[in-house]
Structures are given as structure tokens and as C-alpha cells.
Amino acid sequence: MDLAQIGATPKGGVCRLALTDLDRQGRDLVVGWLRDAGASVEVDGAGNIFAIRRGRNDGAPVLTGSHVDTQPSGGKFDGNYGVLAGLEVLRTLNDGGVVTKKPVGVAIWTNEEGSRFIPTMGGSGAFARVFTLDYLLAQRDIDGISFGDALRGIGYAGPAPVGERTVDAYFEAHIEQGPILEREDRVIGVVTGALGQRWYDCIWTGQDAHAGPTPMEARHDALRGASRMVEAVNAIALGHAPDGRATVGFMQVKPNSRNVIPGQVTMSVDVRHPDDEALATMDRELRVAAAAIARDLRLECDVRQVVEFAASRFNGDCVDSVERAAAMLGLSSRRIVSGAAHDAVYLSHVAPTAMIFVPCKDGISHNEIEDAKPEHLEAGANVLLHAMLERAGVERK
Ligand SMILES: [Zn+2]
């Protein structure tokens, strides 16, 4: 709640965009808390922060973490919960005088949200070498300010090389951002992986013409193509129920004039599925549907894939650790696939990884009314603690 005061919005949410002065204030506050918990803090060239608590032995830490940037009309919990749950793990180990065999640590990843700078999950993506640091630093916001300049501006362009640190395992706690746990009245989501995603631009081309003199049968109305495509996209996802998802969320109509038949429409399509083969099938179905609609309406349709994330499957041992911790604490749980991408998805490329979900009110996130119950947040932090302890090993209590 203290962290949520920084960038607080009137409706109870948070606006703390990546690499703004508010982001600096939020980072400074949390880094202060992590230092007070005795962690040694290191910042890398992408602004990722690592707060490490020493273990009996040196070597790769068992890491947790998430992000403290938010959407423009974001909530208090997305990302911030995962970081603060990690802080609570360190404080709890201190309170109990616990010495772990391996070091344990908390990471704060830069620009997870992708609101101010594309790509999303920029810091963890550079860390996992999905793209280069130079690529990340060269990205610009809508005012033309580069990621690199903004990072230096808030004093978080650190000296540590990006991605050279090895990680023994990574566990991330996060609100579910969906309705399943709440609906089933379960406290812990044992996250087994994340949906694969393919994003497309579909460009429908017909012909601009006067809305009056042009007879119905003589038209090449690009918006009719796009309209049928919205239904086709939804039907494709329903054909892959319950795991398939498909969404048209963006549409640009040209010339977008009341008395002109639209000559061109650009629309987005977002397709998701936990199985890469099913995702490939959905891709084929999308292209077949577009071609059939275009033929029928005498239009052209160009389907361009612009983003692809393979489905990620988290590490079996780490997933089991999370499940065991929930059972040991007597908490109800279920296995679940994440519909959204998280920093953990990129971390899973370089370290054994799992995630812990807790319910959020009505499944709503990326919204100022985002909310979660203190007892659920506590339960998730306890599961995180015990999953990390199992992995790190306890030397002395
Ligand atoms: Zn998040």
C-alpha cells in the first residue's frame, strides 16, 4: 500500500510507467527495503535489480521477483505483489534466523508492461538474451525518448553485464489476472506454463466508393470482410475450447467517413493456445477463413504475423515444489496455464522456472479497480517461501 502511493490514481489504481521519475521513486523505495533486509543490491545495464541474500555457499541464487512498473491505468498488485512477496521471503528468513545453503534473491525486471516502451518484458527478455541490450536501449517512446536515455535519466543504468548471472531456479508470484481461482474458490494456482501467442495484422483491401450511387452488388467493402473476420476469429477459438483464445482488439477503417464505402481496413488478431501444434492449426484456420471471406466479397486480404511466443512449459521439479508447498500449508490449489506472458516466461529460457498465482477480485487486472485479499497474498507468499526453501536447502534454523 505504501508503494501504491507512488503514482496513485484517484480511482485507487496506480500509474507508474517504466523509467519515469515515479518508477525511480518506486524502485528507490523497494531497494531501500531490500537493503534494510540485508540484501546486497546490484543493477545491470538494462536496469534490472538483483537483491541477494547470502547463503552458506556461494553460487547461483534461487531467485524470485517480478516488476514494479504499471499500466497507465493499472492496479496495485500486478507485478508489485511478486516483488514484495520476495521481500517478505527475505524478511521472514531474517526473522527466523534461517541460513540457506544456496543464496536467495529478489529481482525487479525493467519495463515488463510494455506500455511506454515496446517490447513488453524488456528487462527479462534482454537478461534471457531473447534480444540484445543494444536493441532494447534503442527503443523509443511516443515522445522520441530512448529507453537508454530514460534509464540513465532515472539513475538505473547499472554496471553489471546483462544476462551473465546464472540463476539456480526462478519462482514468480503473481495475481492470476483471470477468474478461474476465484470461481473455483481455490487459493493457489500452480502455474505449469503460459499460452503460446501469435499476433497478426490483417489488411483488407477493397475500393473506396460513394455510399449513394454505388449499388450494393458492385461494392468492394473492406469493412464487411473485417466484420466477418471478427466472427471467424472467435469461431476458431471456440473450435479449440477450452484452451484456445482469439481476439480482434484493434481496427482502423479507411477512409473512416460516413458516406464512403470503406476501401481498406487494418485489424489486429491475437491468437493463443497452450499447445504449439494447436496454435499452428489455428494459424492455418485463420488464413483459410481470410481467403474464403476475401473470395466471397471480392476483396484482398493480407494476413501478416507480427509476433510469436512459443507456448512455454515450466520446469516439472519447480512446478512440483510449488504444489508440495501449497499442500504442506493446507492450501487448496489447482494446476493452471497462464493466459498472459510474464517475466517468468523469459526466465524459463535460462533457468528452471515456475509461477504461483493467487486470486484477484473478479479476475480483473490492468485496471485501477484491481484488488486481492490480504489472506490470499499471504498464502501465496508462504508458498513462495517454501518452494524457494526446498530448492535452496536449509543449513540452519
Ligand atoms: Zn505483471
Q: Separation of 303 CA from ligand 1 center, angstroms? A: 30
Residues with Cβ within 8 Å of residue 132, at least 6 apart in sequence: 126
% residues pLDDT > 70 (the chain): 100
- Give me the pLDDT at residue 266, please: 97
Q: What angle do CA 114, 49, 371 make, to 5 degrees?
A: 55
Q: Separation of 361 CA from ligand 1 center, angstroms? A: 16
Q: Separation of 113 CA from ligand 1 center, angstroms? A: 7
Q: Separation of 154 CA from ligand 1 center, angstroms? A: 21
Q: Separation of 7 CA from ligand 1 center, angstroms? A: 17
Please check the confidence at residue 214 and state whether its pLDDT lies above 80: yes
Q: Separation of 74 CA from ligand 1 center, angstroms? A: 10
Strands 49-53 and 40-43, by their bridges, are antiparallel
Please count the other Cβ atoms lying within 10 Å of the Cβ belonging to residue 164.
Answer: 8
Number of helical H runs and strand E runs in the chain:
11, 18
Q: Separation of 71 CA from ligand 1 center, angstroms? A: 9
Q: What is the pLDDT of residues 218-268, one digit of tens each?
A: 999 999 999 999 999 999 999 999 999 999 999 999 999 999 999 999 999
Q: Separation of 326 CA from ligand 1 center, angstroms? A: 22
What mean pLDDT comes out for the span 124-131?
97
Q: Separation of 173 CA from ligand 1 center, angstroms? A: 10
pLDDT band at 396 (very low <50, low <70, confident <90, very high): confident
Residues with Cβ within 8 Å of residue 145, at least 6 apart in sequence: none
Q: Separation of 65 CA from ligand 1 center, angstroms? A: 10
What cell does 346 get?
A: 523469459
Between helices 374-392 and 80-95, what is the axis angle to 10°? 60
- Give me the pLDDT at residue 91, please: 98
How distant is the alpha carbon of residue 311 from its chain centre? 13
Q: Are residues 289 and 246 in contact, defined by beta-carbon separation less than 8 angstroms?
A: no
Alpha helices by DSSP H, listed for the chain, are 21-36, 80-95, 122-127, 133-138, 147-153, 180-184, 222-238, 276-297, 316-328, 343-347, 374-392
Q: Are residues 229 and 243 in contact, defined by beta-carbon separation less than 8 angstroms?
A: no
Q: What is the pLDDT of residues 52-87, one digit of tens each?
A: 999 999 999 999 999 999 999 999 999 999 999 999
Q: Separation of 96 CA from ligand 1 center, angstroms? A: 30
Please check the confidence at residue 282 and state whether its pLDDT lies above 90: yes
Please check the confidence at residue 118 and state whether its pLDDT lies above 90: no
The secondary structure element, H or E, covering residue 336 is: strand 333-338
Q: Separation of 191 CA from ligand 1 center, angstroms? A: 14
